[in-house]
Amino acid sequence: MKKITAFLLSLLMLLGVFAPATATTVQAKASKNIKVTYTLKKNQKKIAKKTIALKKNATVTDGLKKGWKVNDKGGFISAIDGHKQNNKKKIYWTFTVNGKQVNVLADKKKLHNKDKVVFKLSKYNG
């Protein structure tokens, strides 16, 4: 009887020690990645849309470069998949995150899970 009780006690301790650690490890791995949806528009026409898996704390530029060929310099995006800005015609790439205009460079804006990024190539009327 003492051997069975000792065995059950050991088993319970084993489960108590290892089961929570396993659950915590799985949760930690799951929270290291995020999914962000990118939409590219030229004027009002949608030209591309992708959902991209990224590491936590990734920037807008990180996801954009993972999905498309990008030309950028100092955080400014000048071309995406061959769609280029035109400074003479005042046509530029701008972007929003979750429908809000962002006032920082794309390489500085951190993303969160389920964010929606829209890049738009259009004439600047400012």
Residue 43, sorted as left (phi over 0), alpha (psi -120 to 50) or beta, turns out to be left
Residue 26's pLDDT is: 46
The average confidence (pLDDT) of the chain is: 84
Q: Residue 108: pLDDT above 50? A: yes
Residue 27's pLDDT is: 47
- Say if residues 71 and 77 touch (Cβ distance below 8 Å): yes
Residue 91's pLDDT is: 96
Residue 125's pLDDT is: 80
| Span 69-81, average pLDDT | 94
Host H or E run for residue 12? helix 2-30
Q: Residue 57: pLDDT above 50? A: yes
- Could you report the per-residue pLDDT of 2-52, keeping only the tens digit for each? 555 455 445 444 445 444 444 444 444 556 899 999 999 999 999 999 999
